[in-house]
Amino acid sequence: MLGSFSYCNPTKLYFGAGAVEYLNDELPKYGKNVVLIYGAGSIKKNGIYDKVCEILKANGKCVTEISGVMPNPTLNKLYEGVDTARKAKADLLLAVGGGSVCDYAKAVSVSVNCDDDPWEKYYVRFEEPTCKIVPVGCVLTMTGTGSEMNAGSVITNTDTKMKVGHVFASEEVMPKFSVLDPEYTLTLPRYQMAAGIYDIFNHICEQYFSGEDDNTSDYIAEGLMRSLLHSSRIANKDMQNYEARSNIMWTATWALNTLISRGKSTDWMVHMLGQAVGAHTNATHGMTLSAVSLAYYRHILPYGLKKFVRFAENVWNIDGAGKTDEQTAFEGLSAMESWMKEMGLAMSISELGVTEDMIEKVADSVLVLTGGYKPLDRDEIVKVLKDSL
């Protein structure tokens, strides 16, 4: 490992069936004003809302609600939540939902006591919080983003058509605690389960496809990918399989909680391309990633050939004997393509609503990062998007 780094992850996790009861240990640590944040209402249908409210009540909390946090939460919704949390004098923001709800809670947490406009400060200038941050706790109901144990927060500005993620450097932004009960994910629709699985897989890829050194993070990444492939195939056939869903949930957390990026530059261009597609279509995050991935990876493969060969052999069990490195590497991507189709993922951006005449505008929304094997220029971005149609 040639890079130097620090490592600290302060989020406390409670994992397993019935883990929500640990809220009884956590809630007494915070003041009485809790703002309960959730989405469009899935938690009311599956009983999670009732259970959480019962525990909040038993702990004597004064609860204010922010409901209707949408997938791909918007800036206007953030302004609304900041206002509610200020009025409620929030001591704790309790997010109950998927990555959108957790991300949103973090955005509110750094904005409640901030005088600046949060979009300008955090999502345009990428500054760190300089105000007091309201603590966030999560009860996760959808697995994929890793938001339960990281400092990332993605917000969409529907006016400027920019979907921007800020991964805060401050550990203070990470949730103080997260409850991970795999049973809570059993009510997810198949489409969301599949999108979450691909989101996890791609988080690992984004960190794996960078660097040339022999790095422990890459070995951990390969182990996580193998576990995910195994469990995803079981869950795809039997969605109610607790063992598979629990492995998927745990893999998601470790895929993006800063561990496997240690000592790496990391790529993240599939996410930049996917987020641009998301900003123009409001499509489901994981599906925007699957739709652009193969075109992107086939494009950069020659620049990171050694790693793509290793990916083929160690993750997809491709036997490289008697083949050129290029053949082995491309076979790895073909195996990945078969698995993606098996999972029912979006394989093109046309499926998500992008048409050829939108390509230039989508390209305008792509932020270019340079940590991967080949920084993309404008022509390459357009080519990858066209190849993804």
Which residues form the interface with Zn ion (CB under 5 A)? 199
> Smallest distance from the beta carbon of 324 to ligand NZQ, in angstroms?
34
Q: Which does 72 bind (CB under 5 to 8 A by kind): Zn ion, ligand NZQ, none?
A: ligand NZQ
Say how many C-beta atoms besides its own lie within 10 A of residue 78's C-beta: 24
The per-residue DSSP string of 253-270 comes to HHHTSSSTTTT-----HH
In the complex with ligand NZQ, the residue whose CB is nearer, 146 or 211, is 146
Binding-residue pattern over the window 290 to 329 for ligand NZQ, x denoting contact by CB under 6 A = ----------------------------------------
| Separation in Å, CA 72 to CA 130, 163, 231, 252, 370 | 25, 8, 26, 18, 25
User: Is 122 an interacting residue with respect to ligand NZQ (CB under 6 A)?
Assistant: no
In the complex with Zn ion, the residue whose CB is nearer, 103 or 199, is 199
Whole-number Å distance between alpha carbons of 389 and 376: 18
CA angle 356, 360, 362 (to 5 degrees): 90
Structure-block tokens of residue 54: 């019962």
Task: Print burial letters for 21-59: b (CB count within 10 Å at least 16), e (below 16).
Answer: ebbeebbeebeebbbbbbbeebbeebebbebbbebbeee
Q: Would you put residue 5 in left (φ > 0), alpha (ψ -120 to 50) or beta? A: beta
Structure-block tokens of residue 365: 């929304």
H helices of 132-215, in order, are 190-208
Stretch that binds ligand NZQ, among 4-12, 115-123, 127-135, 182-190 (CB under 6 A): 182-190
User: Is 147 an interacting residue with respect to ligand NZQ (CB under 6 A)?
Assistant: yes
User: Is 168 an interacting residue with respect to ligand NZQ (CB under 6 A)?
Assistant: no
Stretch that binds ligand NZQ, among 29-37, 170-178, 187-195, 369-377 (CB under 6 A): 187-195
In the complex with ligand NZQ, the residue whose CB is nearer, 185 or 207, is 185
The residue within the footprint of ligand NZQ, chosen from 11, 42, 217, 261 (CB under 6 A), is: 42
Q: Which does 166 bind (CB under 5 to 8 A by kind): Zn ion, ligand NZQ, none?
A: none
> Smallest distance from the beta carbon of 318 to ligand NZQ, in angstroms?
27
User: Is 81 an interacting residue with respect to ligand NZQ (CB under 6 A)?
Assistant: no
Interacting residues with ligand NZQ (CB under 6 A): 39-43, 46, 71-72, 97-101, 103, 141-142, 144-147, 150, 152-154, 165, 184-185, 187-188, 192, 196, 199, 256, 271, 285
